[in-house]
Amino acid sequence: MRMRTSLAAAAFSGAAALAALSVPAAHAVDNPAAAKAEQFKSAHKAQSKQRPFTATVDGDIQVTKVTVNANSDVVVGLSPKSFNVYVTVTDPSGINQEQNGVDVALWHGSDLESGDFDGFLWNENGAESCDYWSATSATCKFTIAANPGAVDGLWDSSLNGKWNVTVFASANDGDSYENDLYKNHWIKRASSFSGFNASPEPVSKGKTITVSGTLNRASWSYMKYYGYGSQPVQLQFKKAGASTYSTVKTVTTSSSGYAKTTVTASVDGTWRFHYAGNSASSVADAYDYVDVR
């Protein structure tokens, strides 16, 4: 983790201000995310050179809050998914209002400084809007796109899971803040059920109901949904007129993602398969109402 404040004009210029985002030239060729990281660095270098920063002896700029996708997982299927990030910054001198004066990006990997990363999501246009709600504070809204299958986006399924949030902010007096590991956030592959059915319908009380379906998960590498095998799926039931589900049993999907089980019919209600998700995959549910006579 790196946090820098109290930067004088010379210290804030060029490579010194953003050395942490340097990507080795050889690595930039091999890494689909490197080009965007270089743009992120260049955007800050450009805006810092445009401003006559003056030397300061104190560094009291603070990033007090960063909210990614309303604190919910970013779930991406096979279509582009945009999500919002809000960054709140304070400094007694006021917040730099130039483009990229406040900035944020998400990256996937272990070390942004050494170039050990393979995913980088950023909006090069900067903040969509900033609410300067006092002379010393601002909250900026960013819209970031996660594009599955894109060279500079979610180009491979291995990018699912934990991402890091890097934040940059600068103030009118030259103070700056930069933190590659401000917080973590999860970007997950979308999961869903296909062919879900509880049958027969209607069914006589005391007879057997067969519940089956296939759990699928999006592949960003091949841009298709594939059966997700060896996953726990809960069979749950909600009685007609009730508001909550109860778990009846847990089954495990086959290598192709298929799950099948049986229960005894007792009362009218809705049966569902519930997949709770994991660190790389989203929650999924499928429903079917059965009339018991």
Which of residues 163, 188, 213 is at a domain's end? 188
Residues 144 and 57 in one domain: yes
Res 56: pLDDT: 33
> What are 193's two structure tokens?
């059920």
The answer to whether 231 and 283 are in contact (CB under 8 A) is: no
Cα(159)–Cα(144) distance, integer angstroms: 16
- Any domain includes 1: no
pTM summary value: 0.85
Residues 74 and 181 in one domain: yes
Which of residues 159, 188, 217 is at a domain's end? 188
- Any domain includes 111: yes
Where do the H-state alpha helices sit in the chain? 9-12, 14-17, 25-30, 34-50
56 lies in which domain range? 9-188
Which of residues 158, 188, 218 is at a domain's end? 188
Residues 277 and 253 in one domain: yes
Residues 70 and 47 in one domain: yes
> What are 26's two structure tokens?
């050889």
Q: What is the CATH number of the domain that holds 40?
A: 2.60.40.10
Give the chain's domain count. Answer: 2
Residues 15 and 95 in one domain: yes
> What are 62's two structure tokens?
């603070």
Mean pLDDT in consecutive groups of 10 residues from the start of the chain, 293 residues: 37 34 39 85 65 46 96 98 98 94 96 91 96 96 97 95 95 90 97 98 97 98 98 98 97 98 98 98 98 97
- Any domain includes 54: yes
